[in-house]
A and B are shown apart, each in its own frame.
Chain A
Amino acid sequence: MANYALQQIINALSAGSLYALMAVGLALIFSILRLINFAHGDLMMVAAYVAAFALFAGLPLPAAIVTMLVATVVIGLLMERIAYRPIRGAPDVAMLLTSFAVGQILQNGTLLISRLAKQPTQIAFPAPDLLNGVVSLGALTISKVNLASFVSGIVLLSLLTVFVTRTRLGLAMHAAAEDLGAAQLMGIRVNRVVASAFAIAAALATVAGFLYASQAGQINPYLGFSPVLKAFIAAVIGGFGSISGAVIGGYALAFLEIIPTALSGIADILPPGSVSPGVHDLLATLLPSGLASYRDAFVFLFLILMLLFRPNGILGGRAREETP
């Protein structure tokens, strides 16, 4: 039982790292532009595909990774320049819908290129050997991918924190996030700051995408949808708009997700005699084994509750002016 719990915790930590990486990217852009970039998940997907195709083409792993990074960042910058800059200041929903449209372009574009390259819709992701297999720590086994996710998460998020708090560009981003007009008056080149935010978000999405694909084993053009929703939920849990909040939210979400998985079928795994038969039957009815598949629904329900009662995240904090 303790092993099971520990295993779940480790899974949650690694999933949390991925969620945090994605949520931070989302939060970074939202904090400055008030834009929820739903195409963020599709950046992940594009990163995975570029890596896959680069590896198929025979590029060595480091080259493939660099290619993937460059391609994704370029696409992120293009997306900002072409689709988002012209509508800066537009109502929130207009920007949200535009991000959906951008996502559609990325998804269909990938589908198209995939077809042209004579590939099926779903392809196997050529995860590097480095990430295959498991590592043993005493009685626990951790998959290498999970370990890599956790480590990357910690490293990248630390780097990002240093960047944001110590560099001038990071400071400018903070300023832009708090008051875009005042930041402009400082002589800050807002366009450059926004572009940097997108570049950073894209870079984070690249790492998240690579790890996600390695874990999933298969990629398809629509894989970005679920992660971006999760990233959004994570960001909301953490109090949308702050980076530290996004990180907290990412891990919180991962742990939240364990609940239905862990509880489902709990009646089956409880050692016999530990609870009375009445309680046992109750648990079996309320938390049936099939509950795990309701995980997504559960998570969304939580999101809705959060938006209603705690729109500023678990930590609460200063009120955010609601957009009328």
Chain B
Amino acid sequence: MTPRRLVTGPLAGILILIVGLAALDASGLAFWQGLVINLAIYIVLVVSLNLASGFTGVFSLGHIGFMALGAYISAILTLPLREKGEYLADLPTWLAGVHLDQMVGPIPIGWLAATLMAGCLVALLALGVGAVLMRLSGHFVAVATLGFLVMVRVILFNADGFTRGSRTFTNVTPYTNLWWAWACAVLTVYVVWRLKRSPYGRAMFAQRRDRWAAQSIGISVLRPRLLAFVISAFFTAIAGSLYAHFITSFSPTVFYFDLTFRVITMLVIGGLGSVSGSVIGAGVVLAVAEGLRRVEDATLLYGLSGILLAAFFIVVIIRRPGGIMGQREISFGNLVARFRRVPVSGPGEPPGAA
């Protein structure tokens, strides 16, 4: 593919996105705006989890723990002084004075700084956690990471001086809007996409397919896994901050198993190992979930959406475990060619190549 074609595709996509967001922003349709923001946050979550699990084949079930930490850390940092005094009266003095709620014009610098800080802190934690857990494999690492999720929850419930424990953490300033949410989503997609095509990415996929073979040719198993884990934790924490400042009130119960399962469903349906698959998966599942939620509200059959989504998941795992995209990515060149009904030319890079 010529360099120009490589760039024009995604650029066109971003242009369309910007136009779409502007239209939505101006429309004032709060419900749809909320839904589209939700989609962006899910995209960040799913793409990050794909990096951590789909690329390396090492499943992390505890990632929402990182999201929770990102949410709480950033929210604690951005909470204005007055609210801090009212709601978090027991904060240690060095934290009680911090309030990253500064704005420069329309840009919420304080929040951005807080988000970045939360991301870095969580990434650091992930480095430690990952160094320990990434040595395990298969279902053991899955359950160990689930343990991490439980531990985070327990800590959040108990450290109520910081987190208000089981009470709702409220009055978070709603900094998240369409633009910031989607900027993060695009950034995450870009970074993970580049990573996939880099030598690191290849190492990740190599040791996914055959750990022993990879080791025997000198590919370190721990390093790509750890790298994937840490980077994905960073972005997941950012998603947490986005979420916290979107929904403005939350408690530790939000960041637990239901959310975990939903993200996993999106990941599997989209295709483990495919970045574009994650975006598609997030969209599809969110759409289905929303649709089913309407049905639930109308028929009062609460629980139906959960059942159907889980059933959908099982069907996909049985019939098409690769998900919609498998490990492939959407190739813009091929998409365009298909529109123009032009035979796909160029040095034989089929849509299957990473």
Contacts and interface: CB of A to CB of B under 8 A. Distances in A.
Interface of A: 36, 82-83, 86-87, 90-98, 100-102, 104-105, 107-112, 115-116, 225, 229, 232, 290, 293-294, 296-297, 300-301, 303-304, 307-308, 311, 322-324
Contacts of B157: 293
Interface string B125-148: 000000011011111101110111
A111 B155 contact: no
Interface string B304-316: 1111011101100
Contacts of B144: 303-304, 307
8 contacts: A94-B321, A97-B264, A101-B317, A108-B306, A115-B302, A297-B151, A304-B133, A308-B135
Contacts of B309: 104
Nearest to B154: A297
A94 B317 CA distance: 7
A237 to B, nearest CB: 13
Contacts of B158: 290, 293-294
Please report whether the interface of chain A is mostly helix, strand, loop or mixed according to DSSP. helix
A240 to B, nearest CB: 9
B151 A98 contact: no
B146 A229 contact: yes
A225 to B, nearest CB: 6
Nearest to B152: A297
B323 to A, nearest CB: 11
B7 interface: no
A324 B212 CA distance: 7
Contacts of B301: 112, 115-116
A86 B264 contact: no
B303 A93 contact: no
A296 B158 CA distance: 12
Contacts of B151: 296-297, 300-301
Nearest to A113: B303
B192 interface: no
B139 A96 contact: yes
Contact of B147 (A87, A105, A109, A304): A304
Contacts of B146: 229
B150 A93 contact: no
A98 B317 contact: yes
B66 interface: no
A97 B210 CA distance: 21
A98 B319 CA distance: 13
Given A108-B303, A112-B307, A36 B150 contact: no
B140 to A, nearest CB: 5
Contacts of A311: 140
A195 B261 CA distance: 27
A93 B310 contact: no
B304 A83 contact: no
A36 B139 contact: yes
Contacts of A104: 261, 306-307, 309-310
Contact of A90 (B265, B310, B321): B321
Contacts of A90: 317, 321
A300 B314 contact: no
Contacts of A83: 314, 318
B147 A111 contact: no
B211 interface: yes
Contacts of A100: 261, 264
A111 B302 CA distance: 7
A109 B318 contact: no
B310 A297 contact: no
Contacts of A97: 59, 264, 268, 313, 317
Top-7 shortest CB links A-B: A108-B306, A112-B303, A323-B138, A300-B147, A324-B211, A104-B310, A108-B303
B139 A87 contact: no
A207 B10 CA distance: 58
B307 A307 contact: no
B311 A105 contact: yes
Contacts of A94: 317, 321
Contact of A307 (B136, B257, B264, B317): B136
Contacts of A102: 310, 314
Contact of A105 (B142, B264, B307): B307
A303 B147 contact: yes
